[in-house]
Amino acid sequence: MSKSNFSRRGVLKTGAIAGAGLALPTYLRADAHTGFTNAPGDSEVILGFNVPQTGPYADEGLDELRAYQLAVEHLNGGGDGGMLNTFSSKELDGTGILGREVKYVTGDTQTKSDAARASARSMIEKDGAIMITGGSSSGVAVAVQALCQEAGVIFMAGLTHSNDTTGKDKRANGFRHFFNSYMSGAALAPVLAANYGTDRKAYHLTADYNWGYTTEEAVKSSTEALGWETVSAVKTPLTQTDFSSYIAPVLNSGADVLVLNHYGGNMVNSLTNAVQFGLRDAEVNGKNFEIIVPLYSRLMAKGAGANVKGIFGSTNWHWSLQDEGSKAFVQSFGTKYGFPPSQAAHTTYVQTLLYADAVTRAGSFNPCAVAEALEGFEFDGLGNGKTLYRADDHQCFKDVLVVKGKENPENEFDLLEIVEVTPVDQVTYEPDHPQFAGGSLGTCNPGA
């Protein structure tokens, strides 16, 4: 695939939000052309890929970017077509989107909400991006989703696991394929009880932002319902790299389980510190001390190495799945890049195809037509089995994977094994569930 001839051209120096949307330049205003923000011309359409290329989640972000580039290649008719061949919807034919060649611009979120909003704003205002996608932080996702709602473009969330993204901070212009904290708790708790018993005392270390809060809440609620006691829950800065001072008090707390509500480089560092402090070999309350990582990824497992052996967690998708869609994606990604994709790569590739498919089914790039095409959409062939984009909150519902670190990996990518595929019914909740209360989807904004 030839790389896009668009590049990140810096952030907009000025520009305020006014009325229902951004104060766009005249040539991008909805009333200047066909009634919605950044309506494309006849030859090309521009998508904005906003990922962390620096910072604690950079590994996930760079894998997301690889997947986005692969998706663009497939949409434009290059490569082997990947999941276009297995997707239950047969609207995409390799001729771009509605006959327009797909181009893209990129931004670096730095895993910072302000930086992510600035790069997304620039992609919309300067580059004419009609859809923004990406991110590996729920704080970033919530901030950029709100911006896209104001701007009148669709936001296809990347890797965001916080309940808030489709809970209190949900938006009509935003959609999430990735699973959430509630789903992790609902899938993990029965497996933890079966393996470790119901008489456990847990100590939580939690990343100090909205993903950490909702993951802590979800895991606490689900494990306490089965008999576990939460001894303590301590917040840790997202910028933390050495967690020794946070690990030391665990040894004197009376806890016999440590729950690391950390992701990316944070989890790699905190788990490494926990192992260095001897927690894996400790015995407390007459039980072997256990460590849990609620949200796993292959990239995190690779970073943590042997420290992940035997440790349970959940994941949205894994490259070892044997459904036709997963196999097609792994084949395409592996051929292009030389290694299997992460769950971050999978969800961003899928989101790109889902957007393109919705535009095609709607016959329009108008974000409100696209939103209508996505709401209540049921599909298969993209990994994880049958999936529903629920209209009530724009959250995808599908099976959830419980995994653990493999004791005897066969290679550097064979680090996690699937121990249970949790059926979608077990992780489904009502839209007004208390962990998701307080938000309103509102109405779609086309930017007019």
Tell how strand 377-379 and strand 312-315 pair up. Answer: unpaired
Average pLDDT rounded to a whole number, residues 119-135: 96
- Average of pLDDT values for 263-288? 94
Backbone region of residue 251 per phi and psi (left: phi > 0; alpha: psi in -120 to 50; beta: other values) = alpha
Can you state the percent helix, strand and coil of the chain, rounding each to 5? 40, 20, 40
Backbone angles phi, psi at 328, to 5 degrees: -65, -40
Tell me: the pLDDT tens digits for 39-96? 999 999 999 999 999 988 889 999 999 999 999 999 999 999 999 999 999 999 999 9
267-283: average pLDDT:
95
Please give the pLDDT value at position 299.
86
Q: Give percent above pLDDT 90 in the chain.
A: 85
Position 137 scores a pLDDT of 87
Reported as a pLDDT band with limits 50, 70 and 90, residue 34 is low
Beta strands in 244-329 (DSSP E): 257-261, 283-284, 287-288, 290-295, 312-315
- Considering the chain, what is the average pLDDT of its residues? 91
Pick the CATH number of 9-179+321-394 from 3.40.50.2300, 1.10.275.10, 3.30.360.10, 3.20.20.300: 3.40.50.2300
Q: Is the pLDDT of residue 13 over 50?
A: no
Burial class (CB in 10 A: 0-12, 13-18, 19+), 29: middle
Evaluate if residue 8 carries a pLDDT over 90: no
Is the pLDDT at 105 greater than 80? The verdict is: yes
**Spatial contact of 294 and 259, defined as CB atoms under 8 Å apart:** yes
The enclosing H or E element of 428 equals: none
pLDDT in tens, 141-166: 999 999 999 999 999 999 999 999 99
Q: Residue 298: what pLDDT? A: 86
Tell me the pLDDT tens digit for each residue of 352-394: 999 999 999 999 999 999 999 999 999 999 999 999 999 999 9
Instruction: Compute the average pLDDT of residues 17-30.
Output: 39
CATH 3.40.50.2300 boundaries in the chain? 9-179+321-394, 182-315+402-425
Fold of 182-315+402-425: Rossmann fold (3.40.50)
Cα 341 to the chain's mean position, in Å? 14
Structure tokens, 8? 């990140």
Q: What pLDDT, on a 0 to 100 scale, did the predictor assign at position 27?
A: 33
Beta strand pairing status for 387-389 and 174-176? Answer: unpaired
Residue 110 has pLDDT above 50, yes or no: yes
Residue pair 126/418 in contact by the 8 Å Cβ criterion? no
For residue 78, give the 3-state DSSP assignment: coil
Query: Which among 379, 388, 392, 373 is positioned nearest to 432, based on CA atoms?
Result: 392
Structure tokens at 60: 């996930």
Q: What is the mean pLDDT of residues 235-246?
A: 95
Distance, CA of 367 to CA of 364 (rounded, Å): 8
Q: What is the pLDDT of residue 381?
A: 98
Q: φ and ψ at 317, to 5 degrees?
A: -165, 155
User: Which of 19-33, 127-141, 288-302, 426-440 has the weakest average pLDDT?
Assistant: 19-33
Least confident of 9-23, 105-119, 394-408: 9-23
